[in-house]
């Protein structure tokens, strides 16, 4: 018999498949659309990591085909964009030529894997036939007011010489070249993605993916990717408040303040914590805020302010954010903001820790309950006023450690230290909880006399006496001093319910919980100290810091907040918002971190934006019939210094007639970003040659949504958000029938180099798939990449692992010689020749089927290996069994499967077969080995028939010598019997 020779059989079958087009049966009833994230055809070619996702979709595609589906499995090229262009510039070839060349390489490489791609549907985003529709979508957005021009400062990469979207940055550096990005004010096109923010968010969770009419289904996306998107969209609900701006008169008068209303001058701020408004002690605007310019004449120290603003603007993104440096700012002297809730006059600052583009670009600062404000206030000696007291919920964490406290108490006793956990004076509530649960542990303090035991409490903690108790003025913290003179600050909130408060009972009723919780926190910390024999370790110092400096930023109960005092935060926010709305000085407001999509690039290699600027008519869309606006062929395509795209230099191309008035017009010379073409490509595959519509309605209805989308997790916040945005827009204008494009999304884990590092030229650890295929064959690499581990996990490459797969395939190949009678097929139902082997076989069918459906390819393959190992032990195997094995293997290793299938005498392709079903009767074992445990430990096992009764097993077990040895003379307290699994004797 011939030897397994992949070098021969793989090209053979690839050719046959290509020519017969067996994958292109699109007439079946059920459809399955499997989509890969298409590659940029970069100059480097593929490394073994790239095809991992493609292999997975291919396995699933072939599986679905065998299951009787029509499968759409296309491939194409994301050819526009910076990487391709930079590559072209470096290699001094025209991007178009470079891309063409690279596509050829890529296509050849992909061809070696034997994928089921329908190359008739190949698309290329840089093809005018394709980008005609990218431009068309842009025009539609322009018509709907979703594409607009803006002059805001944007991120500019001085090296790539183009503007970038926020998403294209990595820590303030250009993602492509690592250059420091600067802020540059320039005209650009922006897509109003924020208009879709809520829908992009909601449709992740809500079952609104579905076709508008059909039954609803949920998005089957990985949680981590959904979380990343949610995080990126960053929705927060809050309120805006208008602070009136007043002047401080230049001359001091006997009146403390002469308020001069400026009439219309308001400062609007956004906050999610309106409940802390009474703690607002100053306001801050970002350096970009227009109010500064407006108040120019009124600000006494304008020069200083201006200097600060210029300095802030010159700071790079990195300096402004990356360094955990001191906060800086300058007071706008001469003006004050008035807190509408209590009419307090507050100083107004400009500081670059406030972002110009988020919310209203201005904030109310509450240093007692916001870390940033706290830091700033400390530095500029601004008052810090506490208005929130912690409530039970925010200290749930502390409560949960009570078990640990109990334990610690035991430990402490060993050290000869006795202590109690006491609820504080007002803490009876909380202590009550503890008391009820641990009545041996705690004492509830009920009255003032017992409060003295608070001393006892601290005493118990190793602090014999409270020597001093002082109240610091600023923070209104309570500070205790221990024997060693060490100050222990128990937080700014505790003294609100200090003993000296007259209305003890009221406090108790209203706010009791908080203090005790704080105390128990202290208690816990100090305990740790005792246990370390009064030596405070570094770790605990941090905990002490918590009580000293950490700002309480969580929700709680309001204090010092006028009539709102005593309300929980959430309730207070509602009431306060209502009040604002009534007074018409603010109200509910939702904000997003996500910004509109900066959509223009000052580069050559992208889709021209189909807009004409006319002096008379303004910006005019290119009429649909004139699409595509083709990218002119040019000699020079390098970016310019001016901030204008290279297209601006081509006068012949730029000068056109205005389609509206016929007068002179100029073309828009910016191009679209890399992500434009990929935002809708999933639709074009469905109908790639249609020159009337971007996708035909019938075909779209037939194929959408994409049933399976596989690609890298790095696209979680860009491509996947953009594509969803465009898809929703297309849904709104009636071009598509589904609200969401991708029903199931799986992210592929990286394949790292053999050294565990990212595969890259830089480390010299790149493995080329061509080499691996020529050495071991495509089926081996396919199998290996699916077998390495869980699909979504990053795993290092191992060529040794491929060797194992090759061995496995050779075993399968050799197994053929064991076939009893290769020419006569046996009916699996009538001729069960080997019950045990058939059991394994049917278990394998079950497992492989389920595992493919759940992307657990690694265990599917290991199940097949087990089956093969079993078959090897047999003298002879039936041809039926062997055929079933080949069928199971076929999605993973299609070439060898097809070859063996043919060798078995089959005339038609294996992929026209039916996927096997398992026989539920056969997957049950006849004999099982049942485990006998004594006190949960395995001591013996017995072979029994499946389904035996407890009584029988018990009898049998007690007859075993080993078991007798253990049980002899002891009382059997309990017997646990798990059918077909184990019996456990508790003695």
Partner RNA sequence: GGGCAUGUGGCGGAACUGGCAUACGCGUACGACUCAAAAUCGUAUGAGAGCAAUCUCGUGUGGGUUCAACUCCCACCAUGCCCACCA
Considering only residues 364 to 393 of the shown chain, the ones binding RNA according to CB under 7 A are: 364, 370, 372
Long-range Cβ contact pairs of 652-657 (< 8 A, separation 24 or more): 656/612
Measured from the CB atom, the residue of 20 and 171 that comes closer to RNA is 171
Tokens of 97: 């030529």
936 binds RNA (CB under 7 A): yes
Residue from 25, 120, 143, 170 binding RNA (CB under 7 A)? 170
Within 55-74, the residues that bind RNA by CB under 7 A are none
| Shortest separation between residue 470's beta carbon and RNA, angstroms | 29
Per DSSP, what are the bridge partners of residue 329?
351
- How many whole angstroms separate alpha carbon 71 and alpha carbon 32? 5
Rounded distance, CA 699 to CA 708, Å?
18
Q: For the CB of residue 585, give the shortest distance to RNA in the complex, in Å.
A: 16
- From the CB of 536, what's the least distance to RNA, in Å? 16
> Which region, judged by CB under 7 A, interacts with RNA, from 340-348, 351-359, 381-389, 465-473?
351-359
Can you tell me which of 933, 953, 957, 963 binds RNA, judged by CB under 7 A? 933
User: What H or E segment, with its residue span, contains residue 873?
Assistant: helix 857-873
Strand (E) or helix (H) holding 879: helix 879-889
Q: Is the dihedral of CA 115, 119, 121, 125 positive or negative?
A: positive
Q: Let me know: does 558 contact 572? Beta carbons within 8 Å.
A: yes
How near is the Cβ of 386 to RNA at its closest, in Å? 16
The site map against RNA for 431-470 (x = CB under 7 A) is ----------------------------------------
Q: What does the block give as tokens for 253?
A: 């008068």
Rounded least distance, CB 915 to RNA, Å: 21
701 near RNA, rule: CB under 7 A = no
Spatial distance between the Cα atoms of 824 and 837, rounded to a whole number of angstroms: 19
Q: How does strand 974-978 pair with strand 795-796? A: unpaired
Q: Contact between 570 and RNA (CB under 7 A)?
A: no
Q: Which is nearer to RNA, 284 or 444 (CB)?
A: 284
Q: Is 178 in the site for RNA (CB under 7 A)?
A: no
Among residues 495, 562, 560, 489, the alpha carbon closest in space to that of 522 is found at: 489
Among 8, 108, 474, 981, binds RNA (CB under 7 A): 981
Asked if 856 touches RNA (CB under 7 A), the answer is yes
- The pattern of x and - marking residues 873 through 892 that bind RNA according to CB under 7 A reads x-------------------
What is the three-class DSSP state of 170?
strand
Site string for RNA, 305-324 (x = CB under 7 A): ---------------xx---
Residues counted in the chain: 987
DSSP state of 556: E
Q: What does the alpha-carbon distance between residue 64 and residue 820 come to, in Å, rounded to a whole number?
A: 31
Can you tell me which of 441, 536, 803, 958 binds RNA, judged by CB under 7 A? 803
Q: Which of 7, 310, 404, 471 touches RNA by CB under 7 A?
A: 404
Calpha distance 572→526 (Å, rounded)? 35
Q: Dmax of the chain from CA atoms?
A: 115
- CA separation for the pair 245, 241 (Å, rounded): 12
* Nearer to RNA among residue 126 and residue 865 (C-beta): 865
Q: How far is the CB of 723 from RNA (least distance, A)?
A: 17
Q: Shortest gap between Cβ of 223 and RNA (angstroms)?
A: 6
Residues binding RNA: what is the number (CB under 7 A)?
90
Scanning residues 95 to 154, which ones bind RNA (CB under 7 A)?
none
Using DSSP's 3-state secondary structure scheme, residue 106 falls into helix
Q: Specify the stretch interacting with RNA by CB under 7 A; choose among 202-210, 342-350, 638-646, 868-876.
A: 868-876
Of residues 821 and 935, the one with the C-beta less far from RNA: 935
Q: Which stretch binds RNA (CB under 7 A): 425-433, 447-455, 896-904, 937-945?
A: 937-945
Q: Least Å distance between CB 693 and RNA? A: 35
Among 358, 504, 546, 579, binds RNA (CB under 7 A): 358
Site residues (CB under 7 A) for RNA, limited to 637-696: none
Candidates 270-278, 447-455, 773-781, 888-896 — which segment interacts with RNA by CB under 7 A? 270-278
- The verdict on 157 binding RNA (CB under 7 A) reads no
| Residue 476 vs 862, nearer CB to RNA | 862
Tokens of 928: 């099982």
Pairwise CA distance, residues 950 & 980, whole Å = 10
- Given candidates 273, 601, 613, 667, which one binds RNA under the rule CB under 7 A? 273
Closest distance to RNA from the beta carbon of 550 (Å): 10
Single residue of 361, 423, 556, 705 touching RNA by CB under 7 A: 361
DSSP conformational letter for 249: P
Q: Which of residues 202-241 bind RNA (CB under 7 A)?
A: 223-224, 227-228, 231-232, 234, 236, 238
Decide if residue 974 touches RNA (CB under 7 A). yes
Choice from 716, 772, 886, 922 touching RNA (CB under 7 A)? 716
Is there a contact between 174 and 157 (Cβ–Cβ < 8 Å)?
A: yes
Q: Are 161 and 639 in contact (CB under 8 A)?
A: yes
* Residue closer to RNA, measured from CB, 397 or 955: 397
Helices (H) and strands (E) in the chain, counts: 31, 39
Find the binder of RNA among 184, 548, 593, 816 (CB under 7 A): 593
Q: How far is the CB of 627 from RNA (least distance, A)?
A: 34
Task: Find the binder of RNA among 294, 811, 818, 924 (CB under 7 A).
Answer: 811
Q: In 752-830, where does DSSP find H-type helix?
A: 769-776, 778-787, 799-815
DSSP string, 482-515: -TT--EEE--TTGGGG-TT-S-HHHHHHHHHHHH
Spell out the alpha helix ranges (H) of 754-798: 769-776, 778-787
Q: Residue 153 or 455: which CB sits closer to RNA?
A: 153
Closer to RNA by CB, 348 or 622: give it.
348
d(CA 232, CA 502) in angstroms, rounded, equals 49
Between 634 and 938, whose beta carbon lies closer to RNA? 938
State both tokens at 266.
């308001």
User: Least distance from C-beta 316 to RNA, angstroms?
Assistant: 11
d(CA 120, CA 496): 76
What does the radius of gyration of the chain's CA atoms come to, in whole angstroms?
36
CB of 679 to RNA, least distance (A): 18
Among 309, 335, 350, 354, binds RNA (CB under 7 A): 354
Comparing CB distances to RNA, the nearer of 246 and 369 is 369
For RNA, which residue of 286, 628, 643, 916 counts as binding (CB under 7 A)?
A: 286
H/E segment holding residue 611: strand 611-614
Range in contact with RNA (rule: CB under 7 A) among 356-364, 421-429, 725-733, 942-950: 356-364
Stretch that binds RNA, among 125-133, 446-454, 731-739, 936-944 (CB under 7 A): 936-944
- CB 360, CB 270: distance < 8 Å: yes
- From the list 333, 354, 345, 357, the residue with the least C-alpha distance to 280 is 345
Taking each helix axis from N to C end, the angle separating 51-66 and 835-853, rounded to the nearest 10 degrees, works out to 120
986 binds RNA per the rule CB under 7 A: yes
> In the set 44, 318, 499, 796, which binds RNA (CB under 7 A)?
796
Q: E strands along 186-328, which residues?
A: 188-191, 220-221, 236-247, 260-271, 282-285
180 forms part of the interface with RNA (CB under 7 A): no
Q: Looking at 198, 403, 578, 615, which residue binds RNA (CB under 7 A)?
A: 403
Rounded-to-integer distance, Cα 223 and Cα 225, Å: 5
């Amino acid at each position: 018999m011939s030897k397994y020779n992949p070098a021969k059989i793989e090209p053979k079958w690839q050719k046959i498949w290509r020519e017969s087009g067996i994958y292109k049966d699109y007439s079946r009833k059920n459809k399955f659309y499997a989509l890969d994230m298409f590659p940029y055809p970069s100059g480097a070619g593929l490394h073994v990591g790239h095809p991992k996702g493609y292999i997975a979709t291919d396995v699933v595609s072939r599986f679905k085909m065998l299951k009787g589906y029509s499968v759409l499995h296309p491939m194409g090229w994301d050819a526009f964009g910076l990487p391709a262009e930079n590559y072209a510039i470096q290699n001094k070839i025209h991007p178009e030529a470079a891309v063409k060349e690279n596509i050829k390489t890529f296509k050849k490489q992909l061809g070696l894997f034997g994928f089921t791609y329908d190359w008739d549907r190949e698309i290329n985003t840089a093809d005018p036939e394709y980008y005609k529709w990218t431009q068309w979508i842009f025009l539609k957005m322009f018509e709907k007011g979703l594409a607009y021009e803006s002059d805001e400062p944007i991120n500019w990469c001085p090296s790539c010489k183009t503007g970038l979207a926020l998403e294209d940055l990595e820590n303030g550096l250009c993602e492509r070249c690592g250059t420091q990005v600067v802020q540059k004010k320039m005209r650009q096109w922006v897509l109003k993605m924020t208009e879709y923010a809520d829908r992009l968010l909601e449709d992740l969770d809500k079952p609104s993916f579905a076709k508008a009419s059909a039954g609803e289904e949920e998005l089957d996306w990985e949680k981590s990717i959904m979380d990343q998107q949610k995080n990126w969209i960053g929705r927060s609900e809050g309120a805006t408040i208008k602070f009136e701006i007043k002047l401080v008169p230049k001359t001091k008068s006997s009146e403390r303040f002469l308020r001069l209303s400026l009439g219309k001058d308001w400062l609007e701020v956004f906050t999610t914590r309106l409940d802390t408004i009474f703690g607002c002690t100053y306001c801050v605007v970002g350096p970009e805020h227009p109010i500064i310019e407006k108040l120019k004449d009124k600000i006494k120290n304008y020069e200083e302010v201006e200097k600060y603003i210029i300095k802030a603007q010159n700071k790079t993104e990195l300096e402004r954010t990356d360094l955990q440096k001191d906060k800086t700012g300058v007071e706008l002297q001469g003006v004050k903001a008035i807190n509408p809730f209590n009419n307090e006059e507050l100083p107004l600052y400009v500081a670059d820790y406030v972002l110009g583009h988020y919310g209203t670009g201005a904030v109310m600062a509450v240093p007692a309950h916001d870390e940033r404000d706290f830091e700033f206030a400390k530095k500029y000696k601004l008052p810090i006023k506490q208005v929130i007291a912690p409530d039970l919920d925010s200290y749930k964490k502390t409560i949960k450690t009570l078990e640990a406290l109990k334990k610690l108490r035991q430990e402490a006793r060993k050290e000869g230290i006795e202590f109690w956990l006491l609820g504080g004076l007002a803490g009876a509530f909380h202590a009550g909880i503890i008391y009820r649960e641990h009545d041996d542990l705690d004492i509830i303090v009920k009255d003032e006399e017992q409060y003295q035991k608070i001393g006892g409490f601290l005493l118990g903690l190793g602090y014999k006496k409270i020597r001093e108790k002082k109240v610091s003025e600023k923070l209104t913290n309570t500070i205790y001093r221990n024997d060693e003179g060490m100050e222990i600050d128990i937080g700014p909130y505790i003294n609100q319910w200090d003993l000296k408060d007259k209305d003890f009972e009221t406090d108790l009723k209203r706010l009791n919980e908080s203090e005790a919780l704080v105390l128990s926190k202290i208690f816990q910390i100090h305990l740790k100290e005792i246990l370390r024999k009064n030596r405070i370790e570094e770790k605990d110092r941090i905990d002490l810091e918590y009580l000293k400096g950490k700002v309480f930023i969580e929700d709680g109960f309001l204090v010092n907040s006028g009539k709102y005092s005593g309300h929980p935060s959430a309730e207070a926010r509602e009431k306060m918002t209502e009040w604002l709305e009534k007074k018409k000085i603010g109200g509910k407001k939702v904000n997003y971190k996500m910004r509109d999509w900066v959509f223009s690039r000052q580069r050559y290699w992208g889709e021209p934006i189909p807009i004409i600027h006319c002096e008379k008519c303004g910006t005019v869309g290119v009429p649909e019939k004139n699409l595509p606006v083709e990218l002119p062929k040019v000699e020079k395509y390098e970016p310019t210094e001016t901030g204008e795209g290279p297209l601006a230099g081509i006068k012949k191309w730029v000068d056109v007639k205005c389609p509206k008035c016929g007068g002179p017009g100029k073309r828009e010379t910016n191009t679209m970003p890399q992500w434009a073409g990929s935002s809708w490509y999933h639709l074009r595959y469905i109908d790639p040659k249609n020159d009337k519509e971007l996708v035909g309605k019938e075909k779209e209805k037939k194929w959408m949504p994409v049933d399976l989308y596989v690609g890298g997790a790095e696209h979680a916040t860009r491509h996947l958000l953009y594509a969803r945005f465009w898809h929703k827009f297309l849904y709104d204008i009636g071009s598509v029938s589904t609200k969401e494009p991708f029903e199931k999304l799986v992210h592929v884990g990286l394949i790292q180099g053999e050294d565990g590092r990212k595969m890259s030229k830089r480390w010299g650890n790149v493995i080329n798939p061509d080499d691996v295929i020529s050495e071991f064959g495509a089926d081996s690499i396919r199998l290996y990449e699916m077998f390495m581990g869980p699909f979504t996990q990053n795993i290092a490459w191992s060529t040794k692992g491929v060797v194992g797969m090759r061995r496995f395939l050779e075993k399968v190949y050799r197994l053929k010689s064991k076939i009893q009678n290769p020419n006569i097929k046996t009916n699996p139902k009538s001729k069960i020749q080997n019950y045990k082997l058939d059991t394994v076989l049917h278990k394998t069918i079950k497992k492989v089927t389920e595992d493919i459906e759940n992307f657990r390819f690694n265990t599917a393959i290991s199940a097949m290996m087990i089956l093969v190992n079993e078959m090897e032990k047999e003298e002879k195997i039936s041809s039926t069994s062997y055929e079933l094995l080949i069928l199971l293997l076929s999605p993973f290793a299609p070439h060898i499967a097809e070859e063996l299938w043919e060798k078995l005498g089959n005339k038609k392709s294996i992929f026209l077969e039916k996927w096997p079903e398992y026989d539920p009767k056969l997957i049950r074992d006849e004999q099982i080995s049942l485990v006998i445990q004594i006190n949960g430990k395995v001591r013996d096992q017995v072979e029994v028939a499946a389904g035996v009764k407890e009584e029988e097993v018990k009898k049998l077990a007690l007859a075993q010598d080993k078991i007798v040895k253990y049980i002899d003379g002891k009382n059997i307290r309990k017997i646990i019997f798990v059918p077909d699994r184990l019996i456990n004797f508790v003695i």
